[in-house]
Amino acid sequence: MVSMASWDDKLDRLLGAKSGKALESALELTTVGDLLRHYPRRYAERGELTRIADLAIGEHVSIMAEVRSCVTRQMASRPGTITQAIITDGRAQLSLTFFKQKYHQTKLLPGTRGMFSGKVSQYNKKLQLTHPDYKLIGDEEDGSALQEFASGLIPVYPASKDLQTWTIANCVRQVLDQWDGVADPVPEEMLTEAGLSGLSEALRRIHQPNSWAEVTIAKQRLKWDEALALQLVFAQRRHSAVSRPAPSCPRRGDGVAAAFDEVLPFTLTDGQREIGELISADMATDHPMNLLLQGEVGSGKTLVALRAMLQAVDAGRQAAMLAPTEVLAAQHARSLAEMLGDLARAGELGAPDVATRVTLLTGVMGAKERKQALLDAASGAAGIVIGTHALIQDRVSFADLGLVVVDEQHRFGVEQRDALRTRAAGGGSPHILVMTATPIPRTVAMTVYGDLKVAALRELPKGRSPISTSVVPAAEKPRWLDRTWQRIREEVAKGHQAYVVCPRIGESEGDEDEAPPKKSKGAKEPKEPKEAKEESDRRPPLAVMDVAPRLASGPLRGLRVGVLHGKLPTDEKDAVMRAFGAGELDVLVATTVVEVGVNVPNATVMVIMDADRFGVSQLHQLRGRVGRGSAPGLCLLVSEIPANTTTRQRLEAVAATTDGFELARLDLELRREGDILGSAQSGKRSTLKMLSLLQDEDVIEAARVAADDVVAADPELLSHPGLAGMVSDLIHEEHAEFLEKS
């Protein structure tokens, strides 16, 4: 009698040590449950070909295509052969390159169809796969994995260089042949009410569907599980937050907040006034406010936050503002002090009676400054304390913390935000105002920020200048790049300044403000053959420390060029920003350390090098650094990516609109779910594998209602062990943190 496999059984026992080790090292899959939760990312049919135009450079892909031609020739520069095949989807073409392996010519015959797997690279402005793996349909030797699905749907799995999709499909088939199902964690009455299938049935259908209808039924159930698990977590967090008291901070008519409003040199926008009233009312209660304020770059979120902080000060409390970088923290400290003027000079001669004090606290301050800042926070002498992660440390204490403002929330994790949630006097929770200038669609907000109320500032203050954006295709039109540097010189001649942003610092990898994402544990970058590297002209990302001297001695010779990045000592960073703000530098070459909060109204040009290596929201943020004064802004997105690729379309979309909310939705449509919620095909086991944040609003809404009902009656899920287990299986702090950073 064959022993049946259970959910927690190890894969090496069922599949053998070799297959088990391959799944673990490539994709971090160790148990039956891990493998069955590794869903196909899409399905192919025998007659369907994959759109080659949608491929992105650097992505590991598995595509169905047809061979158009295959030839072998001698390499010109060294002994040996190079075999090149052209595959097509009927519209676009992709090159396959093999060095010293001419036997592929006997297999890759014109008209043959199959699945091809490899990393997309670029050579001579064309896309290619170098030394790809492949399985051909109809090939008795190589096509067995595809032949099995020839009459139905072929699952295409998130894969890696060392483990192809057809190998994963074979492992799944072997496991399902031995699997006797799993206990369903969702109560039967909930499934019946939602019209959902059982979990075991859904898992079988998602991996081995006989029709698209079966795929749909399976996805409905698996999407529900993901949405419900998330919403249960957020329902528990909402319940926990409400159960803790908050320090009441009612508005006063004769305090520092009223005095500040009287001296404001401009009129608040309708949005600023409306959201200000909402915040004021929430802060006046003894229930903790938990509000996400999202708004366009330059919409005045900082002013809204300052007015809220002053209301806390008027109530005899303190306010803390958490910024993601030292540069931004220092910028906030300076700008808030400037906005407050005499109202920030408490204890000084001639200061108004209602004045408060703004204190900066960062992790790299000198011992004397840091000691004084800690004393100001602990004694209550500082009404407003601004800092970086240093504010979260246990040894930082407050006299009476009433409000916490978290700026650029996507740069922080859940634990970092929660660390300040219990800092109110008596163990209560301070009011929380979370801000982001990276607009997100409502469905994303419901899923990622499910424990927060959401408000949006869409209206820009009067006086903001327009920003025009253009893509500079440096590889196709090198003269356009020359013109880029000319435009900077022209703006400087008018008395303005410019930013040049690069993805890397140039000293070492892994810096906090570098664009390339970290690889997950299971995603081992394959070593390419020497010949493959020579056949790819995809260079490393440009670096500040390389670009700055080239510009200073080349096209920008004679201009005052400064450098700013996250690894500079704090005093140097501060000195550079002060010099740029004072107009003592013409051009600032920087990393994304200038992405948020930096406000130099005289800067009119933003040049983003290797713009394709940044996300849509990041490009929009960077663009927001210009056009902040009376002169119009110009943003130039420099890229060598070929035209008619998805990546190029993304850049052109950024150039086409300055509406951050529209771009946020477009970004979600252009990028796959895996890219947003877990590194695509890298082995990172993302929480949301099936749920589409744009298309499944009804599922998210229904799951939110169901979760609220369950948690209201059973906050700890003691009577629902299945749901509790589902939450612990699917939702981990690292996943929630990843969601918030995405």
Which H helix or E strand runs over 214? helix 212-243
pLDDT at 674: 40
Q: What is the mean pLDDT of the chain?
A: 83
Residue 153, pLDDT > 90, answer no
Residue 605, pLDDT > 90, answer yes
By C-alpha distance, which of 471, 475, 472, 469 is closest to 642?
A: 475
pLDDT digits (tens, 9 = 90+) for 410-440: 555 556 656 666 666 666 789 999 888 766 6
**Bridge partners (DSSP) listed for residue 563:** 589
Across 121-125, 231-235, 244-248, 555-559, least confident range: 121-125
CATH superfamily of 467-657: P-loop containing nucleotide triphosphate hydrolases (3.40.50.300)
Q: Identify the band that residue 497 occupies on the pLDDT scale cut at 50, 70 and 90.
A: very high
With a pLDDT cut of 90, the percent of the chain lying above it is 43
SS3 30: coil
Residue 713, pLDDT > 70, answer yes
Q: Identify the band that residue 720 occupies on the pLDDT scale cut at 50, 70 and 90.
A: very high
Ordered by start, the domain boundaries in the chain are 11-179, 256-457, 467-657
Mean pLDDT computed over 353-373: 89
pLDDT at 1: 44
pLDDT digits (tens, 9 = 90+) for 536-555: 456 889 999 999 999 999 99
Across 142-156, 416-430, 461-475, least confident range: 142-156
Across 160-169, 304-313, 331-340, least confident range: 160-169
Residue 522, pLDDT > 70, answer no
pLDDT at 324: 82
Say if 11-179 and 467-657 have the same CATH topology.
no
Round to whole Å and give the CA distance between 75 and 213: 50
pLDDT at 526: 36
pLDDT digits (tens, 9 = 90+) for 636-663: 999 998 887 878 888 998 999 888 777 8
Instruction: Tell me whether strands 358-361 and 290-295 are parallel, antiparallel or unpaired.
Output: unpaired
Round to whole Å and give the CA distance between 596 and 470: 21
Kindly give, in sequence order, each residue whose CB lies less than 8 Å from that of residue 226, ignoring residues fewer than 6 positions away.
687, 688, 689, 690, 691, 730
pLDDT at 490: 96
Round to whole Å and give the CA distance between 737 and 742: 9
pLDDT at 734: 46
Here the tokens at position 124 are 């001579």
Q: Identify the band that residue 246 occupies on the pLDDT scale cut at 50, 70 and 90.
A: confident
Q: Please give the CATH number for the structural domain made up of 256-457.
A: 3.40.50.300
Residue 528, pLDDT > 70, answer no
pLDDT digits (tens, 9 = 90+) for 285-299: 988 898 888 877 777
Residue 514, pLDDT > 50, answer no
CATH 1.10.260.40 is held by the domain 11-179: no
Round to whole Å and give the CA distance between 375 and 55: 56
Residue 495, pLDDT > 80, answer yes
pLDDT at 718: 92
